[in-house]
Structure 1
Amino acid sequence: MAADMPTTFFGWVVFIINQYGSALLQGAGVTLMLAIVGTLIGCIIGLLVGIVQTVPVTERTNTGLKILNKIVQFIFAAYVEIFRGTPMIVQAMVVYYGSMAVFDIDMSAMLAGFLVVSVNTGAYMAETVRGGIISIDKGQTEAAMAIGMNHFQTMYTVVLPQALKNIMPQIGNNLIINIKDTSVLNVISVTELYFASKSAAGVYYRYFEVFFVTCVIYFIMTFAASRLLRYFEKRMAGSADYQLVGDPMADPTGIFPNNTKMGGK
């Protein structure tokens, strides 16, 4: 048996791929599922928290609503600071083991993983959304309010469509971070890529070769995610050129002929 073992680095790499390639790919699939679902749910959490954090309070606001707003703002601020100020690996241990110890909930490792990635991403996205909302010119919000829109209507129809384009790079950054950071979930026995790699490496004690393959898989996932997100960013940005509508009323002056390109070379 020993005579059949590889003797070179790349020989071991090929051997590891042949022996444990399917297990590593399954782990990579779990990693992607945790990262994508966790990022999506985290973005929803971040949007809700970010919108509430920007609710305006004026002198005309009811006293009860002012008190309620302060309580909610305090809770959300505490949520953001706690989950941004503690490591995800510690959060995973607290959620997984604490759910049973404190609430007597027998939570599966995968459910705990989804929960941790989601709320952690939500804490970072809340600040990103808040910054994106603030970056939009206040005149647009004031104009929306002037025609009778409330805060949430203004956010949904006017501010968020513009803010979303501004925060897309950060959403992509969070996805890439989550692809890598899900590796910490191995401490609660989530069978993601790092967990599968550690198990494979322990069989033959070939840690360098196994984690070299793992490194390549992580790079492929993050590189593909970054290219895909860059594509969506360009699609959302739109074309640098635009055309006047072929309707005489679109140009009552008659200066520009139909189908004239503007804004581009």
Structure 2
Amino acid sequence: MTRRFDEKVMVVTGAAQGIGRCVAECAAAEGALVLIVDRSPARKDVVKAIRAAGGTAEAISTNLETWNGCEKAMQKAIDLWGRIDVLVNNVGGTIWAKPYEHYEPKQIDAEVKRSLFPTLYCCRAAIEHMLQRQAGVIVNVSSIATRGLNRVPYSAAKGGVNAITASLAWEVAERGIRVVATAPGGTEAPPRIVPRNPNADQEQRADWYQTIVDQTIGSTFMKRYGTLDEQAGPILFLASDAAAYITGVTVPVGGGDLG
């Protein structure tokens, strides 16, 4: 195992499960001091697992759909370790899957709040500290679903993440900060500990969701979902010094599907 992140402070949002947990555990194994940011109680399990493997991790629960929540998370890393070297913005995900005419206005708002504002706010909260040191890396987790079926509000939110990545990278590149993103495709993961939509059984038509599954597999060259490791690997590469001359881009990680 290499030590690409030895003594680097890494904040990973949405790190209690899925891609975020895989990123946090792999980074800790390579020497990172990891702050797990997640409202799920499972964040404590991730901290225990990292510590049991000899790594360093702490956790915080905060609402990243608000400015105050994002500011609180970044300040926690500063209070613990004095700096933020890497921020991985991983919060987001489709809540409902259905043709756009079936979305209620409040559901559109909820999708955008879930998948755009945590990245928008966390970037702002983190660069405040990074600019003081003229150093840092932000890796945003977008999605190839910026072009996809039955999730227009989510697609719009992730399109915003791509725009944040390109525009912010341009602003801060000459001040020592890189901003990059990956756009994961469909990814095999264990069942969510806390479902994005607890009423899915009542609200979600199976055929509408199956449309997403069929489109996702059909759009990939490899005709399969990716693994958690296949998503975490590119995120960690972009966060590492090996990607020092890469900024402002969103890298598709969808088995050939470019979104």
TM-score by length of 2: 0.23
Question: Which structure would you say has the larger Rg?
Answer: 1
1 or 2, which has the higher helix percentage?
1
Give the structure, 1 or 2, with the largest relative contact order (CA under 8 Å, sep 6 or more): 1
1 or 2, which has the higher strand percentage?
2
